[in-house]
């Protein structure tokens, strides 16, 4: 019994903030008007993004982690509810029929958690199971999708997965770490949800397989450290080079298991970790510019929304009619570990 992705939904906090306004109104002064930091902001591939905490009106850089988590608990519930409601509506499924709600986040925690509060607000059945996937980073949507799909296959009941990331809560105090300039230039806030069912419908995506590759020798290249002042990202400029070594074998190995080649893939939902990440993936897989156009558009208009981003890219591809019936789609996302996750889907 396969699992079929039949609904996608998303939600965003507030109106979009323009990248130039974020730099001019907040980060320019904090960086001492550093010319290199300004170039990092200009080269991030981001034009606008959403923020649950608008840095132009509210400075959280000195907040304790406890203060940030209380704000996350308040902001995440309406976003998560709206995104999951939209996915359920797209799937034409009442919330009461869900057997599982999986919630993915690396930007906030509370107990009772987002899973319980969204389940209650949407009216999930009392016997619905819940799963929380925490602190895995930008690739976490794909193992979350895999767990939800496995539940559908094993239990024959529908499942939903919600990714909710509020990176704006983790702006760090000013320092001269250029890695912080990169993260502050890239990340935005979003919630994105998918619904999976055991029965195929027109337009559904069958979940064929999920694969992962982790290179522990490079674990220090990308970190997400819990500090007294929120979560602090560590980024090495070596990340694209490590990804370049692994993305080709990972993708071709997954495709080979199902009798496909790279040329057979009709849609590429690639996590836009940044422009250089997309360049490396394109170079190593031989992709055309159109293949990563949806990823670049999401990066430009939403920023890197951590785990939610690859779902936003998949949603954009589906809105464009991709993949076409009977054709496969590939989801790719990357994060701490260094870890690469891939999911192979096929349009009904």
Residues assigned a catalytic role: 138
Q: Select from 72, 74, 61, 128 the least CA-distant residue to 96.
A: 128
> Residue 148 has which token pair?
């939800």
Peptide linkage before 338 cis (omega within 30 of 0): yes
| 203, 348 contact by CB (below 8 A) | yes
> Residue 96 has which token pair?
């009461």
Q: Select from 267, 264, 291 the least CA-distant residue to 279.
A: 291
Under 8 Å CB-to-CB from 22, ≥6 apart: which residues? 41, 49, 55, 56
d(CA 85, CA 99): 15
| DSSP bridge pairs for 165 | 190
- The residue written with tokens 């939209």 in the block is 86
Q: Select from 112, 233, 113, 114 the least CA-distant residue to 167.
A: 233
d(CA 188, CA 42): 15
What angle is formed at CA 306 by the lines to CA 313 and CA 17, rounded to 5 degrees?
A: 80
């Amino acid at each position: 019994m396969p699992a079929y992705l039949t609904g996608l939904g998303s939600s965003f906090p507030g109106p979009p903030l323009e990248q130039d306004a974020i730099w001019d109104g907040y980060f320019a002064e904090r960086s001492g008007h550093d010319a290199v930091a300004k170039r990092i902001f200009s080269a991030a591939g981001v034009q606008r993004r959403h923020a649950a905490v608008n840095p132009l009106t509210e400075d959280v850089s000195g907040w304790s982690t406890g203060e940030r988590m209380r704000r996350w608990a308040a902001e995440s519930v309406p976003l998560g509810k709206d995104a999951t409601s939209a996915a359920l509506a797209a799937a034409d499924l009442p919330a009461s029929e869900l057997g599982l709600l999986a919630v993915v986040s690396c930007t906030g925690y509370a107990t009772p958690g987002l899973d319980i509060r969204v389940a209650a607000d949407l009216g999930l059945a009392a016997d619905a199971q819940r799963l929380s996937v925490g602190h895995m980073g930008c690739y976490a949507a794909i193992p979350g999708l895999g767990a939800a799909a496995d539940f559908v296959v094993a239990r024959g009941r529908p499942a939903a997965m919600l990714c909710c990331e509020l990176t704006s809560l983790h702006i760090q105090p000013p320092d001269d770490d250029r890695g912080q300039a990169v993260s502050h230039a890239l990340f935005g806030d979003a919630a994105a949800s998918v619904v999976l069912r055991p029965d195929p419908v027109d337009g559904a995506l069958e979940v064929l397989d999920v694969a992962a590759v982790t290179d522990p020798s490079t674990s220090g290249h990308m970190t997400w450290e819990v500090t007294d002042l929120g979560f602090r990202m560590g980024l090495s400029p070596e990340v694209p080079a490590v990804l370049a070594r692994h993305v080709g074998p990972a993708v071709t190995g997954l495709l080979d298991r199902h009798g496909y080649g790279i040329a057979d893939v009709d849609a590429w939902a690639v996590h836009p970790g940044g422009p250089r990440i997309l360049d490396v993936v394109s170079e190593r897989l031989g992709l055309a510019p159109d293949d990563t156009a949806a990823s670049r558009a999401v990066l430009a208009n939403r920023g890197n929304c951590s785990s939610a981003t690859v779902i936003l890219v998949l949603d954009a591809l589906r809105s464009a009619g991709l993949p076409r019936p009977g054709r496969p789609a590939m989801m790719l996302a990357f994060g701490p570990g260094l870890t690469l996750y891939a999911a192979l889907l096929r349009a009904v």
